[in-house]
Amino acid sequence: MPWQVYNSAGQLLQATDLVDGTVTASKLDTNAVTNAKVADDAIGVAELSATGTASNSTFLRGDNAWVAVGGATTREGGNTTEATTSSTTAMNLVTVASLSITQYQPMQLFVSGRKDDAGTGNHINIGIAVISGGSTTVIGEASIGSNNIWTSTNTDTSMNGVGICFVGGRASGYQRSATGTTTTWDTAGSTRRHTVHIENAGGSTNTWPVATYTSVILRAISNSPLAGVAGYSLISFTSG
Amino acid sequence: MLYIFAGFPRNGLHVGGLGKCLEEIECLVELEHDPSVQFRKEGVYTVSPSGAGEFLKHDDVVISPTLIKEGITWDWFPKDWSFGNNITCHKTHAYPEYKTVVHGTDLSLDDYLKENGVTTLSDLKLENKHIRHEGWEEYEARWLPNTCPQENHIVHLTWFITTHPIPREIYTKIGALIEAEDTLDKTLYNDDDFSISTVWNGEKAYLSK
C-alpha cells in the first residue's frame, strides 16, 4: 500500500495544503502532463521549441521550423505611383533593376498603361529593353505606329489597358522566345486587343541576349509633348 | 540641358501638367520638343523614325542636391540610358533577394538535413541571408558607397530636357515646385493636370515598398 500523508489537522493531505508555486518540474514524471491538463488558449509562441524566429513573415512548418513565407521570386505590390512621360523620343520610363535572370529562366511582365484626353497626342507606345552583361539591348523599341507591348492610338480620348508578355529561356542561336497580348480600352467604348510584337518591334533588330539579365526596362514614347499623361506602372514581374 | 530632380512633383502635377506649369503659366523654361532629339547618357542624339540615331553633341546635366545627398549621382544611370526629351517621371524598382539558410552555412534547412542526416533542430539556428547576385551588385554599385537602400524600394525621379541652360534662380524655383512643399497656385490649373497616383511624399527619392 502506498504512503498516505496527513496534515497537522490529521486530515489526508490535500492540494490546498501545498504552498503556491512550490511544485517544480522535476517533481513531475516524464510525459505526465496530458493534453487534457493544459488549459485552452494557454500555449504561447515562446513555449514552442521550433528553430528559427517567429514573426509576421514566417510560418511554422511541419519540421518544427519557422520559415519565411514564399520562396518563389514573385515580385508584386507597392505600386502606388505611376511613371509618366511626354517624351517624343523613346526613353527609359520604368526599370526593374537588381535582377538575376539567367539564360534558361522564363519571365513574365504585366504592364498597365493609360493616357488622358488632354492635347492632341494620340499615340502612346511602350517597348522593352534589357541590360545584360552591362549593355542595354532594345528588344522592341517604343515607336509611334508600332504594335508594342502597350499602345494607345485614339485622339482626344482617355485610354487605359494592360499588356502581358511571356519571355522564354534563351540559348545561343535560340533567342526569339517571347509573346504577349494587350488590351486597350477607350472612353468612347472601343476596345483593341491584339497579339504583341516584341522582337523586331519599332525597327529594332535585336534578339534576346543570352547572358543573365540584371535589369528590365520599359521604354516609352508619345507623339506629342501635349499628350498629357502617359502613365505606365509595372504592376508585377515574375521569373523562375 | 538635362535637369534631374528627386521624386515626383509633390504638387501632384503629371508630366502634362508640369509642362504647362513650366512653359505656359510660370514661363520658366523652354523644353526640348523636337521629336528627332534624344538625350542619352552618352550625349544628345538625333533619332529617325526607324530608331537609328547619330551623335549630335555633348550637353550638360544638373542633378538636384537632394539626389546627390541620397547617393544618386550621374553614375547611378547605366550606360546607354535614354532620357528622351520633354518631361518624364521615372521609377526604378529594386528588390534584394533573401533565402533562409542554416546559420554558418549557405544551405537551406532541407539541404542541410540531406547532408547531415538526423539533426536535433534545437541545435540549429536559421538566418535570412541576402543573395548578393550580380544583378544586385551591379545595382548597388550605381549608388554612392553605403547609400543604396537594402530593402525593397522604388526610386522616383523627375527629369526634363531644355533647349537652353536655365539661370540659378529659375532652377531654384523649379526645384521648389518639384521637390518642396506644395506651393502651386492650383486655381491656374485644370483637374486633369494632376495625377493623384504620381504624388510623392517628399521624404526620399526612394520609397520602401
pLDDT at position B15 is 87
Residue B181 has pLDDT above 90, yes or no: no
Q: Is residue A53 part of a domain?
A: no
pLDDT tens-digit profile of B78-121?
Answer: 999 999 999 999 989 898 888 888 998 888 888 999 999 998 88
Inform me whether the C-beta atom of residue B46 falls under 8 Å from chain A C-beta atoms. Answer: no
**Domain range enclosing A138:** 75-239
Inform me whether the C-beta atom of residue A202 falls under 8 Å from chain B C-beta atoms. Answer: yes
Claim to verify: residue B78 and residue B50 sit in the same structural domain = yes
What is the C-alpha radius of gyration for chain B, rounded to an integer number of angstroms? 22
Q: Which residue has the higher pLDDT, A80 or B77?
A: B77
Q: Are A183 and A192 in contact (CB under 8 A)?
A: yes
Whether ipTM tops 0.85, in short, is: yes
Claim to verify: residue B81 and residue B49 sit in the same structural domain = yes
Q: Is residue A68 part of a domain?
A: no
B202 contacts in A (CB within 8 Å)?
none
Claim to verify: residue B16 and residue B102 sit in the same structural domain = no
pLDDT at position A77 is 43
pLDDT at position B197 is 64
User: Which residues 83-142 on chain A approach chain B with CB closer than 8 angstroms?
Assistant: 83-101, 116-119, 131, 134-136, 138, 141
Q: What is the CATH number of the domain that holds A137?
A: 2.60.120
What's the total number of domains in chain A? 1
A81 contacts in B (CB within 8 Å)?
8, 91, 154, 156, 197-200, 207
Q: Is residue B142 part of a domain?
A: no
Give the model's confidence band at A195: pLDDT under 50 very low, under 70 low, under 90 confident, else very high. confident
Picking from A50, A116, A214, the nearest residue to B135 by CB comes out as A214
Claim to verify: residue B85 and residue B125 sit in the same structural domain = no
Q: What percent of chain B has pLDDT above 90?
A: 56
Q: Search chain A and give the residue with CA nearest B132.
A: A98
Residue A192 has pLDDT above 90, yes or no: no
Q: Which residues lie across from A213 on neighbouring strands?
A: A101, A132
Claim to verify: residue B169 and residue B114 sit in the same structural domain = no
Collapsing DSSP states into helix, strand and coil, what is residue A215?
strand
DSSP secondary structure, chain B, as one string = -EEEEESS-TT-B-HHHHHHIIIIIS----B---TTEEEETTEEEEE-TTS-EEEEE---EEE-HHHHHHT--GGGSPTT-EEESSEEEEEEEE--EEEEEETTSS--HHHHHHHH-S--GGG--EEEEEE--HHHHHHHTTSSTT-S-SSSEEEEEEEEEBSS---HHHHHHHHHHHHSS----GGGS-GGGB-GGG---SS-SEEE-
Q: Is residue B30 part of a domain?
A: yes
Claim to verify: residue B19 and residue B61 sit in the same structural domain = yes
Best to test chain A binding among B14, B23, B76, B120 (most A CBs inside 10 Å): B14
Q: Are A186 and A104 in contact (CB under 8 A)?
A: no
User: Which residues 154-183 on chain A approach chain B with CB closer than 8 angstroms?
Assistant: none
Report the pLDDT averaged over residues B149-173: 93
Exposure string over A189-211, b if 16+ CB within 10 A, otherwise e: eeeeeeebbbbebbebebbbbbe
Claim to verify: residue B64 and residue B124 sit in the same structural domain = no
Q: Which three cell numbers stand for residue B96?
A: 534584394
Q: Is residue A168 part of a domain?
A: yes
pLDDT tens-digit profile of A19-50?
Answer: 888 888 888 888 888 888 888 888 888 888 88
d(CA A96, CA B41): 18
pLDDT at position A123 is 79
What's the total number of domains in chain B? 2
Q: Is residue A20 part of a domain?
A: no
Q: Is residue B140 part of a domain?
A: no
d(CA A234, CA A95): 9
Give the range among A52-66, A221-235, B15-29, B73-87 with minimum mean pLDDT.
Answer: A221-235
Number of residues assigned to chain B: 209
- CB-based burial label for B195 (10 Å; 0-12, 13-18, 19+): buried
A vs B, Cβ pairs < 8 A, gives 218
pLDDT at position B166 is 95
CB contact under 8 A, A231 and B198: yes
Give the model's confidence band at B37: pLDDT under 50 very low, under 70 low, under 90 confident, else very high. very high
Number of residues assigned to chain A: 240
Cα separation values, A11 from A5, A21, A222, B169, Å: 8, 22, 96, 97
Q: Is residue A25 part of a domain?
A: no
Residue A231 has pLDDT above 60, yes or no: no
End-to-end CA distance of chain A: 71
Q: Is residue A34 part of a domain?
A: no
Residue A182 has pLDDT above 70, yes or no: yes
Q: Are B67 and B205 in contact (CB under 8 A)?
A: yes
pTM to 2 decimal places: 0.78
Inform me whether the C-beta atom of residue B10 falls under 8 Å from chain A C-beta atoms. Answer: no
pLDDT tens-digit profile of A52-98?
Answer: 778 766 778 777 877 766 544 444 445 567 888 889 899 999 998 99
A56 HSE (CA, 13 A, CB side)? 0
Residue B184 has pLDDT above 90, yes or no: no
Minimal Cα–Cα distance from B205 to chain A, Å? 13
CB contact under 8 A, B85 and A97: no
Amino acid at A41: D
**Domain range enclosing B108:** 97-131
Q: Is residue A141 part of a domain?
A: yes
Q: Is residue A177 part of a domain?
A: yes
Q: Is residue B195 part of a domain?
A: yes
CB contact under 8 A, B97 and A73: yes
CB contact under 8 A, A131 and B78: yes
Claim to verify: residue B170 and residue B115 sit in the same structural domain = no
Q: Is residue B55 part of a domain?
A: yes
According to DSSP, the β-strands at B2-6 and B61-63 are: parallel
pLDDT tens-digit profile of A120-163?
Answer: 566 788 899 999 999 999 999 988 888 888 888 777 777 888 88
Claim to verify: residue B158 and residue B71 sit in the same structural domain = yes
Q: Is residue B70 part of a domain?
A: yes
